[in-house]
A and B are shown apart, each in its own frame.
Chain A
Amino acid sequence: MDIFSMTALETGKAIKDGKITAVEATKQVLDSAESKNDKINAYITICREKALAQAEEVQKKIESGELTSPLAGVPIAIKDNICTKGIKTTCASRILGDFTPVYNATVMEKLNNAGMITVGKLNMDEFAMGSTSETSYYGAVHNPWDLNKVTGGSSGGSASSVAGKMSLVTLGSDTGGSIRQPASYCGVTGFKPTYGTVSRFGLIAYASSLDQIGPIGKDASDCASIMDIISGKDSMDGTSLDIDYPEYLSSLTGDVKGIKIGIPKEWYNNKGLDSEVAEKTRKVAEVLEKAGAVVEEISLPFAEYAIPAYYIIATAEASSNLSRFDGVKYGFRAENYSSLVDMYNATRSEGFGKEVKKRILLGTFVLSSGYYDAYYRKALKVKAVIKKNFDEIFSEYDLILCPTAPTTAPEIGKSLSNPLAMYLSDVFTVSANIAGLPGISMPCGFDKNGMPIGVQLMGQALADTKVLNTAYAYQQMTDYHKQEVK
């Protein structure tokens, strides 16, 4: 039984039905991951022994009826910025060296309790800073659809491993589009939940007010089933929401009758938007319209300020969040230094990559005395305006539909030399982070080169199930998400 022909949920059912064991499923993922990693570089760490031991234990508990989650026994791979007790967690950075956490992220505790098997840690842009997964200390991640293309980022390993049959389902994190944009480039489904619905405890922070953990998988059902496991109020995270959480998977009815969908006209006038991407994503609206949704053009005039506001808020928070990597307590420390300040300088100069240093400098600048009001305070005001703008739209519409990214995946090595162009690849995704909204990216076709195109659906805060259900409805009517890399 080839589990890569199935979704995570189907695999879970096969395990429950005794058609395959958790150990066999885990072995298949490990074998595939190990054999393909040279080419795709999706994993930083593959933990064969630990995974197999965990799978054996889980299999027993499934047989004894102790574990009943629909995903019990299903292997999962984790972005390497999520802390895993006893497993190296690098953030794809030299500065964390061989850092091995002594604690699990809350999401890891939840996955373990549900009986999911951790097979390894996934490559990413260093500290989740990047839109191509090329800034990793461990080398660039390659797109399985075309190994010369990037996977998108920063959760490049999380998306490419699913597309490349190196994992069934993964966790990523999304600060400005880091789940949705690589999902789009890799032709898989990636969901960024409402800010505060998944605990950030154990997620190594890039920008605390924007970061959110979420799933990447083959389809909306797999994403919803992961959400059932990882969402919830966490006493270890002050920003986690104390609400009645929905049952994500059982909310997927496929019914979109009467759902009002807005298409932001300014976004489709974006100069950088590829015509094929525009065309294919508009077709998604037609499909949903046929199923009973109401589609209208809307205006989101302030969203163009989302990118500058994002790069100010994110880098400011990052400059503070990454200060703790100073060579004193753990991770990498430079070998040669003459004083404390010199040790800090040498360690951070050698330990961080170029993109990370660039963002730390930027963030340090916007927070410095005399510039705070002109940059950071203004960015917070823009944030408030964008949020208000969305609130107005969502008082009339259920969802916003738009491209996930302006183009399909660019070639490796072309983006980092033109950072402003790279930053613009987040243009459609960052506003969801700025406003704390849920968003999903799912495949909706291919360009002339056969590279996947992704469409994004965004909803009001806490309308996560509406977003997931609409994606589910679309996937019931189409098969783009079932296309495989040849």
Chain B
Amino acid sequence: MDWEIVMGLEVHVELATKTKIFCSCTTEFGGAPNTHCCPVCTGMPGTLPILNKQVLEYAVRAGLALNCDITRYNKFDRKNYFYPDLPKAYQISQLYLPFAQNGHVDLKTKSGKDVTIRIHEIHMEEDAGKLVHSMFGDATYPDYNRCGVPLIEIVSEPDFRETEEVIAYLAKLKSTFEYLGISDCKMEQGSMRADVNLSVRPKGSKEFGTRTEMKNINSFKSIERAIAFESKRQIALLESGERVIQETRRWDENKGKTFAMRSKENAQDYRYFPEPDIPPVSISEEEIQHYISICPEFADAKAKRYVSDFGLSEEDAGIIAGSKYFAQLFEKTVELCNDPSEVRYWIMTQILYFMNERNVQPEDIKLAPEKFAQFVNIVKAGRINRQVGKTVFENMFFGSDDFDIEKFIKDNELEQVDDSELISKTVQNIIESNPKAVEQYKSGQTKIVGFFIGQVMKQLKGKANPASVNKAVNDALENLKED
């Protein structure tokens, strides 16, 4: 039987406000345990929450960017449960009236398919702390630094059918929130977390199967693995005549499996009720209009512009515009050197290579556009060729702020050689010392030209102008033929 996977996502995003949602403690990541907290966020008796207005602003701007209806009269609710990382024993959240509803996100997947994912709602809430298990013995200690860090939870409709849609959706959320400057969306640091609700059904069926909810997925790669594992598990159950149990399952990254955490039958009753300590907060039409007016250009619009203004391919434009950090670097560098194609070349080859091979994140890029432009100008002027350029680029990219391109080229004698006399002399040397290859050439194996070019470049330590070498080698070999 053919099966269809149906998924809905609950994505938690930490908002990048300087202070927590209900007190003035810092939201900075890390810090020694229990140093970023106060009586309010540790829920000491008698303390009260005060809503950080910036949280509401960031949240509403996220809601607008995801095409949601914004609730004008916002209330909070308490979600009650006992756990040592939750010092008040309730989480302040929004159940009855989430701040944003009925939105949607348009996506293009990696294979080029257009998909629309509907957003059911987005609500605000506070993060909990974490438990640290002692290295000695069996003690567990709470660390309340994360307590009260503001979160929004984006709940989608069950509109996902394939993993690549999930990936594209998360990438789009990340890109959008980066452009808004409201979150850094780092899955590895937990500032973006996705819970995947997944069920399977026979292809063509209209009814939903029984779903499970997967938690604790910490990277894009894990999401792919978790979806693959869980859908296979459910299909195997159904094909062997068993049933899927509605439950929460924890993804174990090391084991590559999901494990049951709690079933629906044992589901907690959170006893939600309106939070009496926070009066309702209204959002005015003027505020909404203001947030719309300060809305930045997002990835899709940027990509279109890159295609029409700079002649980039749709794919390249999509990748560069997909990250705010790529886009900033690209736009500023192009503005300085006026050569979009060359800037594109270095981002798409070298920087993407660093990302894949060296785990560089776009937000970690320190390269200044001024330096990048200077580099492009040097390449354009033919002072170094692209081959040597790769070495220079790598050193510049990973180098410190005061990395001096000119000095580096000079110290390493990387300046391009375009001395025709030197090049033709080298060509002659190579031809003379490779009689066998010359014979091959003469017998019609013209591909051997590449060998000669390679040898010449090698002799000249890769610094020669490739076009000049190309021409010199071809000319010299042509001359041999005539002999």
Q: Which residues of A contact B (CB under 8 A)?
A: 81-83, 89, 91, 96, 99, 101-103, 105, 200-205, 207-209, 235-239, 316-317, 319-320, 323-326, 328-330, 340-341, 344, 364, 367-369, 372, 376, 380
Contacts and interface: CB of A to CB of B under 8 A. Distances in A.
| SS of A interface (majority) | loop
A82 B45 CA distance: 9
Is the interface on chain B under 10, 10 to 19, 20 to 34, or 35 or more residues?
20 to 34
B173 to A, nearest CB: 30
Contacts of B48: 200-201, 236-239
Interface of B: 39, 42-51, 78, 80, 82, 84, 87-90, 142, 269, 271-274, 276-279
Which of B45, B78, B142 counts the most chain A CB atoms within 10 A?
Answer: B45
B279 A323 contact: no
A81 B276 CA distance: 19
Contact of B39 (A102, A205, A341): A102
A238 B278 contact: yes
Contacts, number: 102
Contact of A209 (B50, B80, B84, B276): B276
B82 A320 contact: no
A202 B90 contact: no
Given A238-B51, A369-B271, A205 B46 contact: yes
Closest 4 CB pairs of A and B: A323-B89, A209-B276, A367-B271, A208-B276
B interface, over-half SS: loop
B50 A236 contact: yes
B271 A319 contact: yes
Nearest to A323: B89
Contacts of A319: 80, 271
Nearest to B267: A369
Contact of B271 (A235, A237, A238, A364): A364
Given A208-B276, A328-B142, A329-B87, A320 B271 contact: yes
A200 B142 CA distance: 28
A368 B78 contact: no
A341 B83 CA distance: 9
A201 B46 contact: yes
A238 B50 contact: yes
Contacts of A238: 48-51, 277-279
A376 to B, nearest CB: 6
Contact of A101 (B45, B49, B269): B45
Given A317-B273, A320-B271, A330-B44, 15 more contacts: A91-B45, A102-B39, A103-B47, A105-B46, A201-B47, A202-B47, A204-B45, A204-B46, A208-B276, A238-B48, A238-B279, A239-B279, A329-B142, A367-B80, A367-B272
Contacts of A369: 269, 271
Given A367-B273, A368-B271, A323 B80 contact: yes
A202 B43 CA distance: 11
A89 B277 contact: no
A235 B50 contact: yes
B89 A324 contact: yes
For A96, A323, A367, the residue with the greatest tally of chain B CB atoms inside 10 Å of its CB is A323
Contacts of A201: 46-48
Nearest to B85: A328
A316 B273 contact: yes
A367 B275 CA distance: 13
Contacts of A330: 44
A364 B90 CA distance: 13
Contacts of B271: 319-320, 364, 367-369, 372
Contacts of B44: 101-103, 330
B45 A324 contact: yes
A208 B45 CA distance: 12
B174 to A, nearest CB: 32
Contact of A340 (B51, B78, B84): B84
A372 B50 contact: no
A45 to B, nearest CB: 16
